[in-house]
Structure 1
Amino acid sequence: MISTKTPRQDKKQSVKHLRTTDARAVVQLATAATHNVTRIVEGVHQSIWSTLGAPAGKTKEQTRGVTGFVFKSIHGITQLLGTAADQALTRIESLLPTDVIEAANSPQREAVLAALNGVMGDRLEESKNPFATQMALHYQGEILDAHSMTKITSHSSKVVVLIHGLCMNDLQWTTLYSDALTAHGYTPIFLRYNTGLHISQNGALLSQQLETLVQNWPVTLSDLTLLTHSLGGLVSRSAVAQAQHQNSNWTHALKRLIFLGTPHHGAPLERAGSWVDVVLGATPYSAPFKKLGQLRSAGITDLRYGFLTEQDWQGHDRFRRRPDRRTPTPLPIGVACYAIAASMASKRSPLSDRLIGDGLVPLKSALGQHDDKALDLNIPKSHQHIFYKTNHMALLNSPEVMQILLQWMNTARE
């Protein structure tokens, strides 16, 4: 079908997704990209010269002499221009009305930002880029904080917090789940967060958010459920482990942890990514391009084995291949834990379980099963369910999944 929109209408549609702070964010990204590309080019250049016996600069990837001066000048000019543009745009923003800067969000904009945060959210946060997503609870489209919670009139003592996965956001949960939960007396609240941060960092932030929720909810919150998808399940487990260690109050209200396609023991795609780093680093000519693979976020590299604690990654090169030596983190005692796994195959088999799974997460990883007893989550069979001919994303919008969830949630805690 041919579009009847005029160029002016198309432009308006595009502009509505933009904010004033986006210009500054793009400048910061462009500056970082120029630095990274320049480093790769210099690395390739030096790799070629090194085969001819030419000495390197300060590091084996840097050139020296006139060539080194040229690359150093590029970095200097790039940083100078980037800083000047950033400062100028910051001054312009300060002169604009708040309602211009904080334009209404759109699902399309939030989807792009969610993907960007998933891929490089740690770098966005480190550089204070405006594109970095800040963790927040959302209720009926509005951010929940200690003040706004007291004004909620339509509430329940039973709350379900829905936690999304990598490169996603709260708007990508369909209304199917929230409508069904509301109809059964639960208040659905959605978490939005930067999935590119370390899982343990997001776990600590989530624990703080849930503590605020429990302390400021209009009525005593007696029944808290965390309904999680993919990476969100690992973040919730990290939050619970840290909260129990700190004896946080919110854990006393926690009744259920529900995992939808959570890679409890990691995901093959990240392990494949680490092999790409090894292959690219095998020759001096391809080694500089290893930096491209190493742009992936801390949230992604934590998925290699499912790192939940700070000890799992602190003090280690997260891009270097090493054995699975993560800290065993069992499921919390006294909390009913459930796991839903999906398989794109029509029936269970060793090959489909290990290699296919739901397209992203192997079946055993989603069910928390592991050959090492210290890492096996021991989720009871009655608390597991497998959906066949189903992919990872389908778990977000499935009447059949919702039916199983309601069965579990309406069952008294064991």
Structure 2
Amino acid sequence: MSKKEEPSTGEKLEGTLMFVGDTIAQAATRVHEFHRAISDMPFKAVGAATLNASKPVESVHNEITDLVYGAVREAGKGVFSGAAWVVRQANQSLASPQVIDQAMGGELMDDVNHLPVPSMPNAKTDKRVSAISSAINGVFGDHLAATRNPMQVHMNLYANGQLLQADQAALMAQFPNAQNHLVIFVHGLCCNEDSWQMYYNPSEPATRPYGDKLQDDFPVTALYLRYNTGRNIDSNARQFKRMLNKLVRNWPVAVEGITLVGHSMGGLVSRAVVEALTDDDIILKRAIRDVVCLGSPHAGAPLARLAAAGEQLFSKFELARPIGRVLGVRSRGIRDLDHGLGALQTRDGQEVMFHLIGSTIGDHTSSWLNTTVGDGLVTPDSALADDTGKAQRVTFAQKHHMILLNDPDVFLELKMVLRQHLRPRVGRD
């Protein structure tokens, strides 16, 4: 199983500088467009009244403003792109300090030996940086991937906070007690694998993450996917499928079952993996038993549709068009949530069982909340959209979207899913 190493601190700094430069350029462009939309109104009015006698003035005005905004845009992007280049050269140089040391006649290593040892970032800092990076990737991840920005999140599997190793020998060392049933958790938009630890209180064992508790109760190994949620769902699903095929081939023991548990967008990615399976994926087709979707917008999410509608509406008015373009700066991943993947459809030869779990912040009788607000981000109708009539569907009341990541009622549902294939460990029934 191939993997991408996580970027170093220096590479993250380089990527951040590149991203800031791109952001300044985009902001200058939007302000320029807004300025032009405003200035065009009086020029058009005067032009109509004076038979275009004001055209030379308008041309001079436009040339000057184009020059000014162009200078701001290019200077802003240039400064940060230049800084990113400096950081990149430093990263490459510092990766081999002996080269510089030779060039300086040994002076560098002399100085380095007398430098105080810097304090290393702790796990809490790393998690915070990772969370911020994942949030940025959710909104701009397609751009980061297209520009090969070091800030882009690479798809990888994790267990116990550690990146999964690539080859079978390393996996055997990493998982001496590997089980033949895998439960793989797939996070949602702007999140990462740490999102499954939300609402965990060390003093309350019942709030431990689903994966930890399932490993206690059943002979399973829990794994967690991290991916760039700004990329479109199909692209992530295809890459995830390839990763699963390699994982099954290299896993220390024969894989007999896989359960995919996806929250929000993660449920759509998991579903898309199953729908992308072909006869070439025969081992994976036999292994994947269940897909559990927690608050996944199969029929789309209201907020995503609102942003899309706003973009279309503002784009129809000349003065508001720049605002429409701002709303248009949404990743492909977010755009995929406008309408989701549609309701589940019957597919020949598909033996995977889908479990659709939705919720609402209101109670079951407050229908207006169910249909308009749902869990705050996804309505039950979308979360439970199924045209096959075969999916197991559950709706919970008085639960918001994020609580589905760590909730005792949801955990009971997950246990019921595994009971269909596995016997609980002795004493854990």
- Give me the TM-score of the superposition, normalised by structure 1: 0.81
CA distance in 1 between partners of 2:81 and 2:129 (Å): 26
Q: Amino acid of the residue matched to residue 343 of structure 1?
A: T
Does residue 294 of structure 2 align to residue 260 of structure 1? yes
- Aligned position for 2:108: none
Does residue 398 of structure 2 align to residue 378 of structure 1? no
Does residue 412 of structure 2 align to residue 403 of structure 1? yes
CA distance in 2 between partners of 1:246 and 1:123 (Å): 32
TM-superposition CA deviations, 1:299-358 (whole Å, max 9, x none): 111001114xxxxxxxxxxxxxxxxxx798546721121111111112145423211211
Question: How far did 1:362 drift?
Answer: 0.6
Q: Amino acid of the residue matched to residue 17 of structure 2?
A: V
Out of 235, 240, 247, which is 1:201 matched to?
235
Q: Which piece of structure 1 moves more, 388-397 or 285-294?
A: 285-294
Does residue 364 of structure 2 align to residue 342 of structure 1? no
Q: Secondary structure of the equivalent of 2:87?
A: helix
% identical aligned pairs: 27
Q: Amino acid of the residue matched to residue 212 of structure 2?
A: D
- Aligned position for 2:103: none
- Aligned position for 1:140: 160
Q: Amino acid of the residue matched to residue 168 of structure 1?
A: C
CA distance in 2 between partners of 1:124 and 1:109 (Å): 16
| Correspondence 1:262-277 to 2 at 5 A | 262-277=296-311
Q: Amino acid of the residue matched to residue 161 of structure 1?
A: I
- Aligned position for 1:71: 69
Out of 322, 330, 353, which is 1:296 matched to?
330
CA distance in 2 between partners of 1:356 and 1:79 (Å): 40
Out of 148, 168, 175, which is 2:191 matched to?
168
Q: Amino acid of the residue matched to residue 370 of structure 2?
A: D
Does residue 224 of structure 2 align to residue 190 of structure 1? yes
| Correspondence 1:40-119 to 2 at 5 A | 40-51=30-41, 52-53=43-44, 64-97=62-95, 106-119=126-139
Q: Which piece of structure 1 moves more, 152-161 or 23-32?
A: 23-32
- Cα distance change on mapping 1:398 and 1:114 into 2, 3 Å: same
- Cα distance change on mapping 1:328 and 1:339 into 2, 3 Å: closer
- Cα distance change on mapping 1:108 and 1:198 into 2, 3 Å: same
CA distance in 2 between partners of 1:71 and 1:398 (Å): 51
CA distance in 1 between partners of 2:162 and 2:372 (Å): 40
CA distance in 2 between partners of 1:245 and 1:28 (Å): 42
Question: How far did 1:103 drift?
Answer: 6.2
Question: How far did 1:79 drift?
Answer: 4.0
Out of 167, 172, 177, which is 1:150 matched to?
172
Gaps of 5+ in 2: 1-7, 53-60, 97-117, 198-207, 423-429
- Given that 2:258 and 2:290 are in contact with CA atoms closer than 8 Å, whether structure 1 keeps it comes out as yes
- Given that 1:354 and 1:364 are in contact with CA atoms closer than 8 Å, whether structure 2 keeps it comes out as yes
Q: Amino acid of the residue matched to residue 114 of structure 1?
A: S
**Higher Cα Rg: structure 1 or 2?**
2
CA distance in 2 between partners of 1:74 and 1:291 (Å): 19
Question: How far did 1:93 drift?
Answer: 0.9
- Aligned position for 2:340: 306
Q: Amino acid of the residue matched to residue 182 of structure 2?
A: V
Out of 2, 6, 19, which is 2:9 matched to?
19
Gaps of 5+ in 1: 1-17, 56-62, 308-325, 370-375
- Given that 1:368 and 1:377 are in contact with CA atoms closer than 8 Å, whether structure 2 keeps it comes out as no
Question: How far did 1:41 drift?
Answer: 1.8
Structure 1 vs Structure 2 CA RMSD: 2.6
- Given that 1:264 and 1:365 are in contact with CA atoms closer than 8 Å, whether structure 2 keeps it comes out as yes
- Aligned position for 1:390: 399
- Cα distance change on mapping 1:287 and 1:211 into 2, 3 Å: same
- Give me the TM-score of the superposition, normalised by structure 2: 0.78
Q: Which piece of structure 1 moves more, 128-137 or 103-112?
A: 103-112
Question: How far did 1:257 drift?
Answer: 0.9
Out of 216, 231, 244, which is 2:250 matched to?
216
Q: Secondary structure of the equivalent of 2:276?
A: helix
